[in-house]
Amino acid sequence: MAEKLDVNEKTIKRDVVKLKQKGLLKRIGPDKGGYWEIVSS
């Protein structure tokens, strides 16, 4: 994702943490094999 958006990997990690804190990302499934889903309001 960082490569596609031409940003640093740390930027992606920071932004994902912010989205999780705001409740905009929801974890589906286990840590291994699961995925993140965008929560629509």
Confidence of residue 38 (pLDDT cuts 50, 70, 90): very high
Alpha helices in the chain (DSSP H): 2-5, 9-21
Q: Which residues make Cβ contacts (< 8 Å) with residue 35, sequence separation at least 6?
A: 27, 28, 29
Distance separating the N- and C-terminal Cα atoms of the chain: 24
| pLDDT one-digit tens code per residue, 3-20 | 999 999 999 999 999 999
Q: pTM for the complete prediction?
A: 0.71
Cα 13 to Cα 2, 18, 41: the distances in Å are 9, 9, 23
Can you tell me the mean pLDDT for 29-36? 94
